[in-house]
Structure 1
Amino acid sequence: MPFIQQVSAGLRLLAGLLLVAASATPSLAAEKPNILIIFTDDQGYADLGCYGSPTNRTPRLDQLAEEGTRFTSFYSQTVCGPSRSALLTGRQPIRSRGWGMPASEITFAELIRPAGYQTACIGKWDVSNRKAIIERMPLAQGFDYYFGTLGANDNGKVDFHENNEPAGSTRDMGSLTKLYTDKAIDFLTQRRDPDKPFVLYVAHTMMHTIIDASDDFRGTSAGGLYGDVVEEFDFQTGRLLDVVDDLGLRDDTLVIYTSDNGPWNQDKYTKRKKGHPEGSIFWGNAGPLRNGKGSPYEAGYRLPCIVRWPGKVPAGRVSDAIFATIDFMPTFANLAGYADPDDRRIDGIDQTDLLLGQRDSGRDYFYFSRAGVRQGRWKYLKADAHFHGYAVEDDRPIAEELYDLTADLGEQQNLAAKYPDKVAELRALMRSIEGTDALRPQDSIR
């Protein structure tokens, strides 16, 4: 072959290789970040400085908010087990069954592991009826490693499991925040496969009753024992984030901080609950929101949420888009390259564009379990909306409610009588969500 033809053929081959390489370059959403979920318990909407706390010192979480995006219309669920099943499955608790989540539910861990991820769960599991039912424990639900407690600490004691085996117990509630952080750090430094991306789900027991802080933090805050616990959580979270940085993982790690439900702040509960340290106040600050844990009002469901992924998630941004824990699984599907199950209804939606700052809007609606629905600025509650007993407001009229959350975040002005057509519209939307043959939420994103 003449030299010029050899050169020409070589250039064509090089151009072809470059075209293949370009087409194979992953998109921003397909770079498979590490995923670190920091999930606290019973933390109030306004417990952090960056969410308006006048007393709690939370410099590390405030810094995280500066480095990422802080969401102000983020929803979890109103109690512990349902919140966790919703997060794990992308399905509302009326489908994922909360504390009684069956083994047949499919978690994001089960889907992301075949996509090349190493998976670990540390802390409070709470979806196997607080029992050692092997087929419903973390290892059977997609996690490579587990350390934590299968239930809550309502009696001031927790029993640990490591993987599927019992691993001791403790009544030292003040030790748990550091213990779970140490276990998370151990995973990152000793158990992590450096050749794989990871998912690390750290589900803390604090600030769930019965609260306590370690000796280093007890009595050091301006917010009583609860403030001590919040500030210790902030410190320990900072330790974990520092290890992410020290290992050179910062730029490749999507960090999500949020909570499972609002604070236990009702008089009915506090008067009958025993076993707390003497003189302690064990509930958080719901800020401008109404009621707390166990309630379908905003303080039961609306939680702080901060997301950081340097260079991807906009820093210093505050978003009021509607976003929820049920959205994690479809969002992770996009980021990690797996497909959501197609044999069941998935209530979550892919929020990748929202996280990356490529879209300002979030969910069109959010459903409050057995209670009502929010769509845009409007929130509807049915007359017999579900409350857990301690959260029932005895003076609440048994009537439908409609609130304009933009003008009335505290849900004080019931507008149902003024806007009957909006009530009917939202009632129908709620019923469609509860039905098995309704459209998937992806069909109604705004």
Structure 2
Amino acid sequence: MYLIKVSQFCLVLVGVASWCNAEKKPNIVMIVADDVGWNDVGFHGSNQINTPNIDALGLNGIYFDRYYAQQSCTPSRSALLTGRYPIRLGYQGLPINPGENRSISHDFWTLPKALKGLGYMNHLVGKWHLGSASKNFTPQAYGYDSHYGYLDGFVSYFDHDIQSDGHLGKDMYSDHQPLTNTTGEYFTDMVTRRSIEVIKNHPQEKPLHLVISHLAAHTGKSTGDMDGVLEVASDEYNDKKYGYIPDKIRRMYAEIVERMDTSIGDVVEALDRKGILDNTIIVFFSDNGAPTNGFFKNRGSNFPFRGIKLSLFEGGVRVPAVVYSSKFKNKGRIYKNLFHITDWAPTLYSAAGGDASKLGLDGANQWTNLVYDSKLVKRDEILLNIDEVEGYSGLIKGRYKLINSTFGDGDETFNNYTGEVSVNRPYNVRKVLMSKTNRALGNCKTLNQEKLLLALRKKMTMPNCRPNVDTLKCPGECLFDLKEDPCESKDISKKLPRVTENLRNRLQIFNDERKPQLNRPVDPNSNPQHCNGFWYPWMDEDGCWFDSHQI
């Protein structure tokens, strides 16, 4: 799966090892957006939404071109935590519902536990969504020293509640303590404040691992078990600021994304004030493609790709991502190698001085590639997923991608083209150059930096490759050449039968290794009415606590 020249590896490994031993372990800050699409960031060519701080991270670091996540929330977060494909964990299916007793076995290696073994302090701010039936399956049980946020899939931005199986309850915790005094506070602001507190109070002698898992830009207040609405902190989405966007819902979406971007700038500034920015790796990515339509639709855009969240087409799994480190030898570049969300676990563990080579992870350690702008490790295959319940699967091998059936039995809502966005205003280069992130990283408005940003953005702006008439259906197999046809408009499976057979065989090998899904119905005993209106770890006798007292 990964091609390495041994002689080159030995030479570079010596350099990496000496760096790890000679310097303090790097701090690691991972920022995860929720349901933000490919075309919802400025560096991909979007002129509708300003993301100056995210754009500036890539300008001073690396933009990813072929970055893939899983198709939805829970599978992506399981892959991030463990470095393994969800099929290894039984987490390949639909996301966890509040009140569902599903959890990851503690037999699996996790990144925060491994980093703790290297002396790190680990903090999770925001979304968990990997199980909460018992406190033994909440963030602290997997290596985090603290958690501030919600345990399930999403909450309303102001009330912090979520509905499941007809039951409405709040889901806002500081560690295991329900927070009863946060109603009315905008969740993105709460995430920002808490993240800055963690950074400010962190002991200098310890390396920091901070995961900031945003609610933005998922829909918030639930209007039903499979729907939701967007909530903004102010009326800044109005005609005066976003009048150039015809769709009012997308105006609200733009405000939510821009407020998240502002939060990122505040976090980078806090790292700078703490004096640790120069020794911090900062990662940003979205957990899956945007649900333009369908369940919890937010009007995000995956243009020009086919598909949305829950689909294995590019729009569902190919997402925006950037990474920054002062250690990168060549900054302000585009990383073309395949990169999967499972790769962060071995990559960041390696950056911290660990060795994941014998752990049997599905992720590839690409730290050397990122630091030295090398092609030492070449990832040429990604298992997108195998969902035996919904009956669809997908695999990328080199330039080719095989889809075996589609989500929703071919429902065009999930598998066709959505979210086309016209270019209707100029890109604001000045905002990027004068952003908090760019200024904290020691850069100012220079002609050279402006030229570099515009040149990189031009390369990353995907041309409209959609067909004039979409006639493609994939009730069975479809093979695509992603290099020639990134919009997945032409099935070439019959034209290239040997390639199709090769990818089909690879999928079968993975399928033989697949663990059955652990999805379960909502347990009626989880009803938040049993815990003063809060979703809680109902499987524990002491699962419901208020003010450090068991209820």
Q: TM-score range by the shorter chain?
A: 0.7 to 0.9
Instruction: Kindly report which structure 2 residues correspond to 1:128-143, keeping only aligned pairs within 5 A, or say none.
Output: 128=131, 131-143=132-144
2:256 to 199, 224, 229: 229
The equivalent of 1:110 in structure 2 is 113
1:355 to 370, 379, 401: 370
The equivalent of 1:17 in structure 2 is none
The equivalent of 1:430 in structure 2 is 507
The one-character-per-residue Cα deviations of 1:398-446 (angstroms, maximum 9, x if unpaired) are 1211101111110001100100000001111222233339xxxxxxxxx
Question: Secondary structure, in 3 states, of the residue corresponding to 2:186?
Answer: helix
* 1:388–1:63 CA distance, 2 compared to 1 (3 A): farther
* 1:154–1:163 CA distance, 2 compared to 1 (3 A): closer
Shift of 1:49: 0.6
The equivalent of 1:167 in structure 2 is 179
8 A contact 1:111–1:339 mirrored in 2:
no
The amino acid across from 2:404 in the alignment is: K
Percentage identity across paired residues of the two chains:
28
Greater relative contact order (Cα < 8 A, sep 6+): 2
The equivalent of 1:286 in structure 2 is 302
Find the aligned partners of 1:24 and 1:318 in 2 and give their Cα distance: 23
2:283 to 256, 264, 268: 256
Instruction: Kindly report which structure 2 residues correspond to 1:163-242, keeping only aligned pairs within 5 A, or say none.
Output: 163-168=175-180, 172=184, 175-190=186-201, 192-210=202-220, 211-215=230-234, 217-219=236-238, 220-221=241-242, 222-223=244-245, 224-242=251-269
The amino acid across from 1:72 in the alignment is: D
Count matched residues.
399
The equivalent of 2:335 in structure 1 is 319
Residue 366 in structure 1 maps to residue 382 in structure 2: yes
* 1:57–1:383 CA distance, 2 compared to 1 (3 A): closer
8 A contact 1:29–1:334 mirrored in 2:
no
Question: Secondary structure, in 3 states, of the residue corresponding to 2:402?
Answer: strand
- Of residues 404-413 and 334-343 in structure 1, the stretch that sits farther from structure 2 once superposed is 334-343
Instruction: Kindly report which structure 2 residues correspond to 1:281-430, keeping only aligned pairs within 5 A, or say none.
Output: 282-312=298-328, 314-340=330-356, 345-360=360-375, 362-370=378-386, 371-383=393-405, 391=414, 396-430=473-507
Find the aligned partners of 1:117 and 1:388 in 2 and give their Cα distance: 46
The equivalent of 2:90 in structure 1 is 97
* 1:325–1:34 CA distance, 2 compared to 1 (3 A): same
Shift of 1:367: 0.8
Residue 67 in structure 1 maps to residue 49 in structure 2: no
Find the aligned partners of 1:166 and 1:66 in 2 and give their Cα distance: 40
Shift of 1:39: 0.3
The one-character-per-residue Cα deviations of 1:283-334 (angstroms, maximum 9, x if unpaired) are 2111221111000001111111100001326311011210011011111221
The amino acid across from 2:18 in the alignment is: S
The one-character-per-residue Cα deviations of 1:232-288 (angstroms, maximum 9, x if unpaired) are 11111101111111211121000000010000113x44xxx6xxxxxxx82211122
**TM-score, structure 1 as length reference:** 0.83
Find the aligned partners of 1:429 and 1:108 in 2 and give their Cα distance: 27
Shift of 1:388: 9.9
8 A contact 1:118–1:193 mirrored in 2:
no
Residue 121 in structure 1 maps to residue 198 in structure 2: no
8 A contact 2:311–2:407 mirrored in 1:
no
Question: Secondary structure, in 3 states, of the residue corresponding to 1:321?
Answer: coil
Q: CA RMSD in A?
A: 2.6
* 1:428–1:294 CA distance, 2 compared to 1 (3 A): same
**TM-score, structure 2 as length reference:** 0.68
Question: Secondary structure, in 3 states, of the residue corresponding to 1:63?
Answer: helix
8 A contact 2:306–2:415 mirrored in 1:
no
8 A contact 2:74–2:130 mirrored in 1:
yes
The equivalent of 1:28 in structure 2 is 19
* 1:340–1:165 CA distance, 2 compared to 1 (3 A): farther
- Of residues 292-301 and 50-59 in structure 1, the stretch that sits farther from structure 2 once superposed is 50-59
Find the aligned partners of 1:386 and 1:433 in 2 and give their Cα distance: 22
2:41 to 39, 45, 48: 48
The amino acid across from 2:254 in the alignment is: G
* 1:29–1:327 CA distance, 2 compared to 1 (3 A): farther
Shift of 1:338: 2.9
* 1:57–1:414 CA distance, 2 compared to 1 (3 A): same
The one-character-per-residue Cα deviations of 1:73-129 (angstroms, maximum 9, x if unpaired) are 00111101111011000011112333433242331001110111111000000001x
The equivalent of 1:278 in structure 2 is none
Gaps of 5+ in 2: 1-13, 97-101, 162-170, 221-229, 246-250, 387-392, 417-470, 515-551
Question: Secondary structure, in 3 states, of the residue corresponding to 2:57?
Answer: helix
Shift of 1:217: 4.1
8 A contact 2:77–2:129 mirrored in 1:
yes
Shift of 1:163: 1.2
Shift of 1:391: 2.3
* 1:25–1:81 CA distance, 2 compared to 1 (3 A): closer
The equivalent of 1:12 in structure 2 is none
- Of residues 212-221 and 376-385 in structure 1, the stretch that sits farther from structure 2 once superposed is 212-221
Question: Secondary structure, in 3 states, of the residue corresponding to 1:255?
Answer: strand
8 A contact 1:313–1:356 mirrored in 2:
yes
Find the aligned partners of 2:311 and 2:483 in 1 and give their Cα distance: 20
The one-character-per-residue Cα deviations of 1:337-388 (angstroms, maximum 9, x if unpaired) are 3344957x42111111221134236411111111121011111112467879
Find the aligned partners of 1:217 and 1:423 in 2 and give their Cα distance: 50
- Of residues 256-265 and 162-171 in structure 1, the stretch that sits farther from structure 2 once superposed is 162-171
Question: Secondary structure, in 3 states, of the residue corresponding to 1:207?
Answer: coil
Question: Secondary structure, in 3 states, of the residue corresponding to 1:46?
Answer: helix
Instruction: Kindly report which structure 2 residues correspond to 1:142-157, keeping only aligned pairs within 5 A, or say none.
Output: 142-153=143-154, 157=160
